[in-house]
Amino acid sequence: MHSSIWLSALILVPLLGSIGSMLARKIPGRSYLVAVGTSAVEMVLALIVWCTYNNHIIGAATFDFASRHVISAPLGLAYDVALDGISLMMVMLTAIVVLLALLGSRERRSEPAFVSWMLVLTSFTMGSFLAHDAMEFFIFFELTLVPCFFIISQWGGKERANAALKFFIYTFVGSAFLFVGILYLGFAHQHQSGSDLTFAYGALSTTTMSHTAAVWLFISFAIAFAVKSPIWPLHTWSPLAYAEAPTAGSIELSALLAKLGSYGLLRFAVALLPMSLATVRPYVMTLAVIGILYGAALACVTPDLKRLVAYSSLGQMGFITLGIMTGSTIATSGAVLMMFNHGIITIGFFLVIDFIQKRRGSILLKDITGLQGPAPVLAALFTVLMMASVGLPGLAGFVGEFLILLGTFGTHAWWGVFASLGVITAALYLLWLYQRVFHGEAVGENAEITDATNHERLVLAPIVLLVVLIGVYPHIALEKITPSVQQIIEHVVSAGVNK
């Protein structure tokens, strides 16, 4: 067991960096340097945790760096952090996202406030992934709304006010259901054990309840997580928010905030309420498959690049949800890996779109064509990301999708059949997108577009390297993920629910 100080540092360093960024605001550009430096420190801390995390054998206790300090026993409040292979992947993703978002898309309007909010969001996101207490998770989960709201409303596009308000209302209302569910679970455990009120993850996992109560609790949890992911039909806030947010904000929403929803679904809804799965599983899997196909259909007809990525993400989150709900170790491990992979690929997509928008002044598909000629390197980088998203073997996107479909076919074949149609459709609209944007003759302003700068190439290089590394050697991630997933699946099986 390693010291929890590393996890506390992952939460506190971005907050301290946020304060430092505001204190340095009087010197032009200094706040940005402080934020980038803080993000680099955060990346180093995440790598230290990655390298020192104990690789557990399947069936063993998988939480490391654990520490619990009671804040208020009567209220059941505690600072409780721990890390397993699932949260480890999300910690790495968070560190990568904030660093590359700041390096790749610098926001010069009110820059000190912007980078400060970005770091605050990083801290709250880290806290959510590291929380080993349900109420602590809820607090961090809810706090992420505040910086997101201001990032969209202050630095977004023309419809930023509507986008920010819609995002806040949807997620806030959804979180209310989660809060009620956590309270019920905590009081149920207190009633059964006769001990003080606690929301500790380990304690709540031993709570017994009727099948009906478990189903209603799962629904309350799932509503909050489905809004955050998003999962069809609670996704309607996301296209507008993704399109109107500044590029760094769009990256945070799609690559990180969406993963909070799928992470919560696996960690809290599935793991704490296994008795509900026999009833809710077919419905949630059906919604996931609808989301896969619906997202692909809308991606085919959307008029701009950002919304296309939003609808594509809806389909990808459907795959992740499908994998989580199958009850298969293979599919669930694939879902966790796909959470990481999708986050990495999404960073690349939004950065390339931002590079195009700065050059062309538009992200409307009707305005952009023939970019492969004047910008061959940019086209090549986009091609790698596109092929990874399609699921080309040898790239990161393939591994997660393959494991999800393999596990799904083994337990719920028909859902696997319909989900496979989403893979085909995604290939169609992404290849069609590439043809429209990069092929053909570049005329007018398109012919004058410059290629990727050295800075832009350096920012995208780590993304391409990760996409290739995980594609050819997924064991580097799966050896961390699988034991933790297996522990959850064994808990579900022990409740008599594995199909």
pLDDT value of residue 30: 86
Which residues touch 289 (CB under 8 Å, ≥6 apart)? 318, 322, 415, 418, 419, 422
Q: Look at residue 396 and tell me if it is in a domain.
A: yes
Question: What number is the average pLDDT over the span 15-26?
Answer: 90
Which residues touch 472 (CB under 8 Å, ≥6 apart)? 394
Cα separation, 440 vs 319, whole angstroms: 33
Q: Look at residue 298 and tell me if it is in a domain.
A: yes
Closest CA to 111 of 16, 32, 38, 18: 32
pLDDT value of residue 460: 92
How would residue 449 be classed by pLDDT, with cut points 50, 70 and 90? Answer: confident
pLDDT value of residue 181: 92
Whether the predicted pLDDT of 433 surpasses 90: no
Whether the predicted pLDDT of 58 surpasses 50: no
Question: What number is the average pLDDT over the span 377-402?
Answer: 89
Q: Look at residue 397 and tell me if it is in a domain.
A: yes
Closest CA to 288 of 408, 410, 399: 408
Question: What number is the average pLDDT over the span 347-366?
Answer: 86
Q: Look at residue 404 and tell me if it is in a domain.
A: yes
Q: How many CB atoms lie within 10 A of CB 72?
A: 9
Q: How many structural domains compose the chain? A: 1
Q: Look at residue 173 and tell me if it is in a domain.
A: no
φ, ψ (nearest 5 deg) of residue 82 = -165, 165
- Higher-pLDDT residue of 403 and 239 is 403
pLDDT value of residue 203: 85
Cα separation, 182 vs 267, whole angstroms: 13
Instruction: Specify the pTM.
Output: 0.91
Structural domain boundaries, residue 318: 278-499
Cα separation, 122 vs 12, whole angstroms: 10
CB 405 within 8 A of CB 419: yes
Contacts 24+ apart (CB under 8 A), 154-157: 154/110, 154/113, 154/114, 155/107, 155/109, 155/110, 155/114, 155/245, 155/246, 155/249, 156/244, 156/245, 156/246, 156/249, 157/243, 157/244, 157/245
pLDDT tens, residue by residue, 118-151: 999 999 999 999 999 999 999 999 999 999 999 9
- Helices in 57-84 by DSSP H: which ranges? none
Q: Look at residue 282 and tell me if it is in a domain.
A: yes
Q: Look at residue 440 and tell me if it is in a domain.
A: yes
| Cα dihedral value 419, 283, 331, 236, nearest 10 | 70
Question: What number is the average pLDDT over the span 169-180?
Answer: 90
Q: Look at residue 31 and tell me if it is in a domain.
A: no
Distance of CA 101 to the CA centre of its chain: 14
Which residues touch 48 (CB under 8 Å, ≥6 apart)? 6
How would residue 496 be classed by pLDDT, with cut points 50, 70 and 90? Answer: low
| Cα torsion angle, 425, 426, 430, 436, sign | positive
